[in-house]
Amino acid sequence: MNNSPKKTPMAMQTPEARCRNFSEVALGYSPEEAVSEAQRCLNCKNHPCTEGCPVSVSIPAFISRVRERDFGGAYDVLSASTSLPAVCGRVCPQESQCEKFCVRGGKGEPVAIGRLERFVADAHAGRGSSPAPATNGHKVSVVGSGPAGLSCAGTLARMGYKVTVFEALHALGGVLVYGIPAFRLPKDIVAREIEELRALGVEFVTDAVIGRTYTVSELKEDFDAVFLGTGAGLPIFPGIKGENAKGVFSANEYLTRVNLMKAYEENSETPVFRGKQVAVVGGGNVAMDAARTARRLGGDVTVLYRRSEAELPARKEEIAHAKEEGVAFRWLTAPKEILTDAEENVTGVLCVRMELGAPDASGRCRPTEVEGSDHTVQADMVIFALGTSPNPLLKRTTEGLATGAHGEIVADGDGKTSLDKVYAGGDAVTGSATVILAMGAGKRAAEAIDRELREI
């Protein structure tokens, strides 16, 4: 037993080194460190940590195998519940899920469940995949290869379904490849987990935009069921003067160009504008990723956030990393206008100071403008990270598909939509949320599809 009140530390690149490269910041546990951390787990009978996991990983079971140095056995336990353990171990907000409920957290730090998950998944790399199960004769199509689609595909494939994933882009993985930067989630990790699914028999068709290349009705003719995991990729802009100026980006476009089009490489064929003074507007994980990316591309970066640090929604770890890397923050600051020169290039952001009033519908204090507080933040580049909504293409091209006020697909707890044998889950249903919630939705929909098709 390891009685340390603190998590076993994980090696990291120093801030000075990492703010000039796109290699992964965290370096992972050695086998000795993983075993030592696993010895902190109390193997609680009622496993509250599992209750906090949206895909119900048997956490004490996988950790006991790590303690026994049975890393392969630990991987088997993990992969029974999650199709993307190396991804989840890196980007899940464990502090508000499994680790939040860990009994060890009562008198010190919780067991480092995320770090152990990452270790087990990485230790498994190159060990070969489980063989594809015998097929049960049913075919299911999955639209979108983000975490929701991959989780649905993996769950169904393990049950013997023949699954085909249709992806609009040329690369697979959704936000995991085009949104989350490589310094948090290396792209070969995502590719490795997708290879595991291929080994299970999942087929992938890229450059296939459903609603254009094929319609949902056409998929329904060829498959027994359809799962829509199309995400929420449409960026929201604030609607202020100057937001179309040269040098203004949505975080989605900026991160896609850097991550997917490799604009960070010298001599990239698709270079991105490299701002010297960059203002990032927003306070979530997306804002932190955009800020840290712009920093790595040589900019002096300031995050403008309209509430205070206490309300910042990004993960604490990402905020700490951003600060260590030299990203500056201006709290209680909101943009009013993007200032430009005669050629429409960004020269600054006209901002106002905000003060916090009573809590709003989200439970956070409502920011209101302080009169007469106009001031200018110098910038040659502005990145808006104010959230996203689902792309309206499926709604426009799929008759009878019910959608909500913000374009989100309406689905019940099992992912069932208004259309027969059409299911949906992930950001396309909830609006932008998290990887593990999208995976949980994909898994639940897969189980519901299985129940429905077995009844036929």
* Footprint on this chain of ligand SF4 (rule: CB under 6 A): 41-44, 47-49, 59-60, 63, 102-104, 111, 113
Name the β-bridge partners of 368: 355
Torsion angle in degrees (nearest 10) through CA of 447, 452, 453, 454: 90
Nearest to 421 by CA among 392, 391, 450, 390: 450
What does 144 bind: ligand SF4, ligand FAD, none (CB cut-off 5 to 8 Å by kind)?
ligand FAD
Q: Rank residues 1 and 456 by Cβ distance to ligand SF4 and give the closer one.
A: 1
What does 49 bind: ligand SF4, ligand FAD, none (CB cut-off 5 to 8 Å by kind)?
ligand SF4
Contacts of 119 (CB under 8 A, 6+ apart): 28, 29, 31, 33, 34, 66, 71, 89
Q: How far is residue 358 CA from its own chain's centroid?
A: 31
Q: 18: how many CB neighbours lie within 10 A of its CB?
A: 21
**What minimum distance in Å lies between the beta carbon of 74 and ligand SF4?**
13
Q: Rank residues 41 and 140 by Cβ distance to ligand SF4 and give the closer one.
A: 41
Nearest to 54 by CA among 148, 177, 180, 186: 148
**What minimum distance in Å lies between the beta carbon of 413 and ligand SF4?**
26
Q: Rank residues 50 and 417 by Cβ distance to ligand SF4 and give the closer one.
A: 50
Q: Rank residues 71 and 223 by Cβ distance to ligand FAD and give the closer one.
A: 223
What does 166 bind: ligand SF4, ligand FAD, none (CB cut-off 5 to 8 Å by kind)?
ligand FAD
Q: Rank residues 144 and 242 by Cβ distance to ligand FAD and give the closer one.
A: 144
**What minimum distance in Å lies between the beta carbon of 305 and ligand FAD?**
16
Nearest to 318 by CA among 149, 89, 93: 93
Question: Packing angle between helix 31-38 and helix 113-124, nearest 10 degrees?
Answer: 140
What does 104 bind: ligand FAD, ligand SF4, none (CB cut-off 5 to 8 Å by kind)?
ligand SF4
Q: Are 427 and 433 in contact (CB under 8 A)?
A: yes
At 434 the three-state DSSP class reads coil
What does 231 bind: ligand SF4, ligand FAD, none (CB cut-off 5 to 8 Å by kind)?
ligand FAD
**What minimum distance in Å lies between the beta carbon of 180 and ligand FAD?**
5
> Which parts of this chain interact with ligand FAD (CB under 6 A)?
91-93, 143-149, 166-169, 174-175, 179-180, 208-211, 229-231, 233, 255, 285-286, 289, 391, 393-394, 426-428, 432-436, 438
CA distances from 137 to 162, 202, 267 (A): 7, 14, 49
Rounded to an integer, what distance in angstroms lies between the CA atom of residue 245 and that of residue 339? 9
What does 179 bind: ligand FAD, ligand SF4, none (CB cut-off 5 to 8 Å by kind)?
ligand FAD
CA distances from 428 to 60, 144, 190, 434 (A): 32, 10, 21, 12
**What minimum distance in Å lies between the beta carbon of 435 and ligand FAD?**
4
**What minimum distance in Å lies between the beta carbon of 57 and ligand SF4?**
10
**What minimum distance in Å lies between the beta carbon of 50 and ligand SF4?**
7
